[in-house]
Structure 1
Amino acid sequence: MAEDDLLIDKHAKFLLRTLKILPGSSGSADNQRITIAFFAVSGLDVLGRLNLLEDMREDIITWVYNNLINIDTDKKSRCGFRGSSTLKLEPGYSPTHIHDFAHIPMTYTALAILVILGDDLSRIDRENIAKGISVLQLPDGSFKDAAEGGENDMRFLYCAAAISSLIDLRTGVDVDRATKYISESISYEGGIGQGPWLEAHGGSTYCAVAALSLLDSLDRLPQSKIAGLKRWCVNRQISGFQGRPNKAEDTCYTFWLGAALKILEGSNYIDWSEIKNFVLTTQDPITGGFAKGTDMSPDLLHTYLGLSGLSLAEPPLLPSLNPVDPALNITLRAKQHLLSLHKQWKS
């Protein structure tokens, strides 16, 4: 398929529409609006259409900061970002009641949105953000999703590593314990599960590999484990990628497995033209957006991860897409802005 087969204008409208109006199908995700906004904002950046947000930029930034808990009033280190303002009862940057606390994926995606939109992050307290993630790390090295409890697995370990990279402060992560948790989660197949003794999965494999990269710990894995990881990821390609053996191809693994292999310096083993052909069969020619598979309805997650995954191809198959950093999952353009902030903080 030619690049013209990528319906850029329709995908941009799909992302913009979802950013402005939460679809009824996503109504149950009201408390995760920050992450929904990240998919839309970063997706527009990947498409090179961030200019469509020019009139909304300041409003989006203000809304993101409205969900910031930045003041550690009760010494429980609940700082970070909420998923939405649904449970916020009063103005300001303090927790507004006992159940008002930050959520680690929302903190990651909120910071990412701000960086993508060119904000200087001057309104956050980096030390408090680091404290907010440090209290989420458990003795086994994994992270839970929020201070008041919840699930703990590889997803939240990745978020902790990504937040640490975004704020350029690693004091919130015990790297030794995190690395040990990841090492113990490598399955007999070579891939990585959500935790020790769990089935290897494309999403958790990405989270683990990207976290190790962000924590500068990838070289702690033996070369035999690295080779096993590459082999497991490469073997997930049919035409597109599947998330686990004996499963159907799924658009989102274009990023999860494509990015994992890129970090592992194994993306040359991917047949990118086949990946592209599969992903483009999942786009909706009427509404825009990408679906999980062919002849399915599009959604925001698969749209963003399909686009960000396609941007990783080497050599570029769709040059109109802005390439994404495989570890942080923001465009290289946005990462340059982030690195300039890191220099300012060090000066």
Structure 2
Amino acid sequence: MDSDNAPFDQARHLRYWQRCMRTLLPQQYTATDSTRMMLGCFCIAATDVLARNGDQSVINAHDRRAFRAWVLACQHPGGGFVGGPTHTYPRAVYAGFDFSKGLPEIGLPGEANIAATLFALQLLALLAASDEENGGRNEKHGEGAYLGVHRNQTLQWLQQLQRPDGSFGEFLAYVPDVRAAGGRRKVVGGGADMRYCYIAAMIRWILGGGGCTDVIDIDVSALVRRIRLGQTYDGGFAESSTHESHAGYAFCAIAALDLLGRSAEFDKSTTLSSLDIFAHGIADIPALLRWLAARTFCFNPECEEDNDSEWQESMVAEITPTETCGNKPLFACNGRCNKHADSCYTWWTLATLSILEHHGYGLKGGSEMSKEDWLAKRRFLLKKMQHEIGGFSKVPGGPPDIYHSYLSIAALASQNEDMLKAFDPAMCVSQDTVRTIETARLGLSRGLGEAGERRRADLLSLGTACWGRGKPPRRQVAL
């Protein structure tokens, strides 16, 4: 793509992700034990994005089954998933609990969290069996990916995480309250920032929320209003209009609106159309576009090393890159005003702009300008952030890590990097994975999931009652 000696080394990056997936991580990851579901999802998703042009997956059938069993072992009986198998009690502890009725009152609902639930659902789609692994069954690829997922409980649990103001929390918990029945009351725990709004929209879309009559949907209109209230005076987005805007929050807000406007295959009753949702969810679109454009600046290593240096942001917003930084500029992005460059900010900014452009809200300028701008950002990622052992670092000269490595690959894939799969910015996974999710969701509607298991159990009970003692009727032979 660019003759500047900054190639994307696919093989090196694939080796890096295989090491992360199959060996012990460095001790710095000890603090992230509760988010193992996220780390696993990034590892598997990265190998998927890197396997382009029909390349064979580095995950064999045995490992797929083992990884899938690990994910399902983290499912909570009351709905949702936990961050790792050490964060839930043995199944016997939950005997006699009725999570749909909230009984007993002193239950254990606080273990499942909204982020782990999203990563678990994405992982199950990424681990869907290939056509060869289906055992010759007449089944589309990925149709049974969500077999074993408690869809209804998870959607009910998700609905309980929404607050009256439209925001979402992270988990459910019981707290002491002498005025409540039993001395305890259920509360929504965690923050109220834009990340949970985005994750809730993703979970709803993945499981086809809103299209099933037996589960109460989230309040989509309240969520859209909550997102709108997150736009700040400068055009960006934050947890609320009085907080500091951040590129990550802007992405979460815009991606959530995109997903709320998507209809599931069996969900024809969306609350608002896609354009209506963007009009209702963003108070000032031109201001948002200006704020996103201002996140790009010409990278100067000397300024990066001197924390007291004067930063010149927005310097490439109105003039060409060559006039500003020479023939081979490096464009970096920051997530907030007067902050240093960070590899993940390139993703947050580019992905937000890509989603807006898809819905007809693009920046002014011709295609040549856009291409030149992206090539300068690409040079920054590959020359300053790409590590010699594979992966990407947070800052120039730093070690690679799973989080920044995946989001750097996501940024490259979203701009059609030659060695990577086509990417869905709002879902933050490959388009192949999104198609698998759509197929798996259809599988749930056809009875391959929880509803199908109930119907099969009912039929088996009916047959047992008719036959007596579980014996099938004797076969009649026509004479």
TM-score with structure 1 setting the length: 0.90
Q: Distance in 2 between matches of 1:282 and 1:319?
A: 19
Deviation at 1:334, TM superposition (A): 0.8
Deviation at 1:93, TM superposition (A): 11
Give the alignment partner of residue 65 of structure 2, picking from 50, 58, 63.
58
Which residue of 2 is the match for residue 153 of structure 1?
193
CA-to-partner distance for each residue in 1:223-243, whole Å, 9 max, x for gaps?
Answer: 872222222112211212211
- What amino acid is aligned across from residue 29 of structure 1 in structure 2? T
Q: Distance in 2 between matches of 1:233 and 1:145?
A: 28
The reply on whether 1:134 has 2:159 as its aligned counterpart is yes
The reply on whether 1:7 has 2:3 as its aligned counterpart is no
Which residue of 1 is the match for residue 252 of structure 2?
207
- What amino acid is aligned across from residue 348 of structure 2 in structure 1? W
Which residue of 2 is the match for residue 246 of structure 1?
338
Q: Distance in 2 between matches of 1:224 and 1:153?
A: 18
Which residue of 1 is the match for residue 82 of structure 2?
82
Which residue of 1 is the match for residue 287 of structure 2?
228
Q: Distance in 1 between matches of 2:256 and 2:208?
A: 14
Pair 274,136 (structure 1): closer, same or farther in 2 beyond 3 Å: same
User: Which structure has the larger Rg over C-alpha atoms?
Assistant: 2
Unaligned 5+ segments in structure 2 are: 98-106, 129-141, 174-188, 211-215, 262-273, 298-330, 447-479
More moved, 259-268 vs 298-307: 259-268
Pair 52,138 (structure 1): closer, same or farther in 2 beyond 3 Å: same
Q: Distance in 1 between matches of 2:249 and 2:165?
A: 17
Which residue of 1 is the match for residue 348 of structure 2?
256
Pair 66,100 (structure 1): closer, same or farther in 2 beyond 3 Å: farther
Unaligned 5+ segments in structure 1 are: 73-78
Percent of residue pairs identical: 29
The reply on whether 1:272 has 2:374 as its aligned counterpart is yes
Q: Distance in 2 between matches of 1:18 and 1:272?
A: 29
CA-to-partner distance for each residue in 1:161-202, whole Å, 9 max, x for gaps?
Answer: 000111111344211111111111101111100223111100
Give the alignment partner of residue 26 of structure 2, picking from 23, 26, 31.
23
CA-to-partner distance for each residue in 1:12-40, whole Å, 9 max, x for gaps?
Answer: 22222222323311101111100011111
More moved, 220-229 vs 201-210: 220-229
Pair 94,108 (structure 1): closer, same or farther in 2 beyond 3 Å: farther
Give the alignment partner of residue 36 of structure 1, picking from 32, 35, 39.
39
Q: Distance in 1 between matches of 2:164 and 2:241?
A: 14
SS class of match (1:147): strand
Q: Distance in 1 between matches of 2:246 and 2:442?
A: 36
Which residue of 2 is the match for residue 76 of structure 1?
none
Q: Distance in 2 between matches of 1:154 and 1:4?
A: 35
SS class of match (2:296): coil
- What amino acid is aligned across from residue 247 of structure 1 in structure 2? K
Does the 8 Å contact 1:194/1:204 carry over to 2?
Answer: yes
Q: Distance in 2 between matches of 1:93 and 1:179?
A: 39
Pair 28,155 (structure 1): closer, same or farther in 2 beyond 3 Å: same
- What amino acid is aligned across from residue 150 of structure 1 in structure 2? G
Deviation at 1:250, TM superposition (A): 1.1
Which residue of 2 is the match for residue 165 of structure 1?
205
Which residue of 1 is the match for residue 241 of structure 2?
196
Which residue of 2 is the match for residue 327 of structure 1?
426
Query: How many pairs align?
Result: 336
TM-score with structure 2 setting the length: 0.66
CA-to-partner distance for each residue in 1:92-136, whole Å, 9 max, x for gaps?
Answer: 795997365211001001101111122520111211111111111
Which residue of 2 is the match for residue 307 of structure 1?
409
Does the 8 Å contact 1:165/1:214 carry over to 2?
Answer: yes
CA-to-partner distance for each residue in 1:317-344, whole Å, 9 max, x for gaps?
Answer: x211112211111100111112223334
